[in-house]
Amino acid sequence: MSVQETTFQPATVAPGELEAGGLLTIDLSAIAANWKRLAGMTVPVECAAVVKADAYGCSIERVVPSLTKVGCVTFFVADIAEGRRVRACAPAATVYVLNGLAPDTAACFAQAHLRPVINSMVELAEWDAFIAANDWRGGAALHVDTGMNRLGLTPDEAVALVPRLQTEAHGIKLLMSHLACADTPNHPMNDRQIRLFRELRILFRGVPSSLVNSAGIFLGGTAHCDLVRPGIALYGGNPIPGQKNPMSPVVELRSRIAQVRDIKKGDTVGYGAAWTASRASRIAVITAGYGDGYLRAAGAAKGKSSALVMVAGKACPVIGRISMDLLAVDVTDLSAGAARRGEFATLIGGTVDIDQLAAACGTISYEILTNLGRRYHRIYRG
């Protein structure tokens, strides 16, 4: 009797509104508006869209069609699986796979009409061998490391490839690099990388080039090259930290109040007794926790937290440690009855945006967005 190998498929049915502990609303029209704003800022340079990590947690299948409708024709993803999903939504789009060419995957790129971002000479050799054997002309991007020290060919390796451009079928559709410190406008690394990439662009004349992400767009036109690659800005994150966010908010997260309870002065709340009431207090227990992507780091450390939750239109502090499925909020200063069982509190939205929550967690908005869990009931607008 043979044993057949099977692959486990997790359940993908989203919970209904009444069944879910929280409601996650994603405004697709705001994503489209953010793209149009960035595209308008960079004319005549092409504006692409980074939709890796399931469109930063907002759903490739929802986001890509919305962006295609307003004119986006080039998308960047992390891996082949994401590329296939984009291809299914946008058959005519150009799709680049940032993580490059893993061994023995060249045929997968051709089957889905995806373009690998070549990150090493080894990848390039394998890609060239596939092209020669199959006469495939879909093209690839060439990624040059200008100082990030993450992925990419060295500048010297890139220079050595310049004679390749004399051949008609060189296959390089895009020359690209990535800024390490774009979100710190005055960082000297930005100027060094821009200068080096400019020198490489001259050598690769005739090949479109791309350097900047969301924050890099705001460094000005000298960095824009031929194509810009916004990511977090599309989803409402602030691309210029320390300044007013120019992007429209995209995500709103509301979770239910499971219980409101009164505690005495000196009582503690949650695991580790991390928060102690300095007065008689009223707390609301909300059905969201780190299992839903509300990070444990948002909890009170030594009795204090900078994370806020909107309850009955008022900002209330998070207290105690974040549990897997629950968090506690101090609602003592609200009027009696303002916080009620079954009502929704706003965890992201209004005056509490994703960047503020990220700061309270000691992280960045990217991590907040991409960790928002599947237990929420999702509502898509626009």
Instruction: List, by residue number, the catalytic residues.
Output: 52, 271
CA distances in angstroms from 43 to 33, 131, 240, 282, listed in the order given: 15, 34, 20, 54
Q: What angle do CA 26, 212, 189 make, to 5 degrees?
A: 125
Cβ contacts of residue 156 below 8 Å, gap of 6+? Answer: none
The DSSP letter of residue 1 is -
- Alpha-carbon span 66 to 30, nearest angstrom: 10
- Alpha-carbon span 163 to 170, nearest angstrom: 10
Q: For residue 265, count other CB atoms closer than 10 A to its CB.
A: 10
For residue 190, give the 3-state DSSP assignment: helix
Asked if 144 contacts 176 with a C-beta cutoff of 8 angstroms, the reply is yes
